[in-house]
Amino acid sequence: MESAILLISCPDRKGIVKEIASFIADNGGNILHFDQHIDYQREIFFARVEWDIKDFRIPRDLIEEAFKPIAEKFHMDFSLHFGDYLQKVAIFVSKQDHCFYDLMQRFKSGELRGQVKLVISNHPDLKPIADFFGVPYYHIPKSKENKKEAEAKELSLLKEHHIDLIILARYMQILSKSFVDKFRNRIINIHHSFLPAFPGAKPYHRAYHRGVKIIGATSHYVTEILDEGPIIEQDIIRVSHRDSLEDFIRKGKDIERIVLARAVKWHLEHKVLVYDNKTVVFD
């Protein structure tokens, strides 16, 4: 679908919707989705507007410029996207394959719209899966000693492939602050607990030890503070005393897959706005 998408946030005041809608209507666009949200505590206006640009009188490459006066008038932060652009994606994995398989199948079937350009791993194990799906696999081992060089190599690959989005599909390495800064709100991680419960290592072990009756998974944007980034999606599954630690891990995988896939889908469709370490998800 030939569409343009505006993601907007700004201080709330009168007339914002009118100006955005007029910009689109007066130039011949037809609004497909208009999602708006106001945070009344902070008096911030958020919107996601998608419109048909088939007959839009402003050419694609001039829309951003044309919208700027409105953005300035209302002190907007905004970003412009196009519905038919296929984002370039890198997937980082370690040894666990369940999220990786799942994502690849969803990309292949078209459920997730994007191009997986490369897979990066600190282990060689999952190469056969990447091969099966026809995606290049880069094995970049990581240790305390070589972390800097390894990240430099990774960054160079990401740059070379013009990567828009990084997915950490159970990637068991912590990225440095300088790495994260280069992909602010463009790295999605899946954490295998219901955050803020059990951040960090071995959440299933700790959940089992605590005797919880429900376990969960959380997808979030990566920030420099571990497992503290803006949450995009969470889901849960029931456990009982009958479930061993192995059952926790097995059941959790089903939730990890789904929660990660949902977050990636929303991100690729430009439905996620980040502010104040929280997300607005126009699902």
- Of the candidate spans 114-122, 138-146, 170-178, 205-213, the one that interacts with its own copies by CB under 8 A turns out to be 205-213
Single-letter residue type at 112: L
Active site residues: 227
- Of the candidate spans 6-14, 77-85, 116-124, 162-170, the one that interacts with its own copies by CB under 8 A turns out to be 6-14
Q: How far is the CB of 158 from its own copies (least distance, A)?
A: 27
Give ∠ CA 244-246-248 in degrees, rounded to 5.
75
Indicate whether 231 belongs to the interface with its own copies (CB under 8 A). Answer: yes
List the one residue out of 235, 239, 237 whose CA is nearest residue 211.
239
CA 253 to chain centre: 19
Indicate whether 176 belongs to the interface with its own copies (CB under 8 A). Answer: no
Q: Pairing between strand 115-121 and 88-93?
A: parallel
| CB neighbour list of residue 236: distance below 8 Å, 6 or more residues apart | 194, 214, 215, 216, 217, 255
Bridge partners (DSSP) of residue 79 are 7
- Of the candidate spans 73-81, 134-142, 158-166, 195-203, the one that interacts with its own copies by CB under 8 A turns out to be 195-203
Indicate whether 42 belongs to the interface with its own copies (CB under 8 A). Answer: no
Indicate whether 94 belongs to the interface with its own copies (CB under 8 A). Answer: no
Indicate whether 114 belongs to the interface with its own copies (CB under 8 A). Answer: no
Instruction: Determine contact, residues 194/206, Cβ cutoff 8 Å.
Output: no
Q: How far is the CB of 198 from its own copies (least distance, A)?
A: 7
Nearer to its own copies, 21 or 155 (CB): 21
Counting residues that bind its own copies (by CB under 8 A) gives 69
C-alpha distances out from residue 261 to 12, 41, 112, 127, Å: 32, 31, 8, 21
Instruction: Determine contact, residues 20/8, Cβ cutoff 8 Å.
Output: yes
**Radius of gyration (C-alpha) of the chain in whole angstroms:** 21
Bridge partners (DSSP) of residue 36 are 47
Q: Give just the sign of the alpha carbon dihedral 180, 183, 185, 191.
A: negative
Give the contact letters, 43-82, x = binds to its own copies (CB under 8 A), - = no. ---x------------------------------------
Indicate whether 174 belongs to the interface with its own copies (CB under 8 A). Answer: no
- Of the candidate spans 18-26, 118-126, 144-152, 183-191, the one that interacts with its own copies by CB under 8 A turns out to be 18-26
Render 1-48 in DSSP notation, one character per residue: --EEEEEEEEE--TTHHHHHHHHHHHTT-EEEEEEEEEETTTTEEEEE
Alpha helices in the chain (DSSP H): 16-26, 60-73, 98-109, 127-132, 147-160, 177-182, 203-210, 245-268
- Of the candidate spans 40-48, 66-74, 82-90, 162-170, the one that interacts with its own copies by CB under 8 A turns out to be 40-48
Indicate whether 119 belongs to the interface with its own copies (CB under 8 A). Answer: no
Nearer to its own copies, 155 or 249 (CB): 249
Q: How far is the CB of 211 from its own copies (least distance, A)?
A: 3
Among 78, 92, 171, 198, binds its own copies (CB under 8 A): 198
**Contact residues for its own copies (CB under 8 A)?**
12-18, 21-22, 24-26, 28-41, 46, 97-98, 101, 105, 109, 111, 132, 194-198, 210-214, 216, 230-236, 240-242, 244-245, 250, 253-254, 258, 261, 276-281, 283
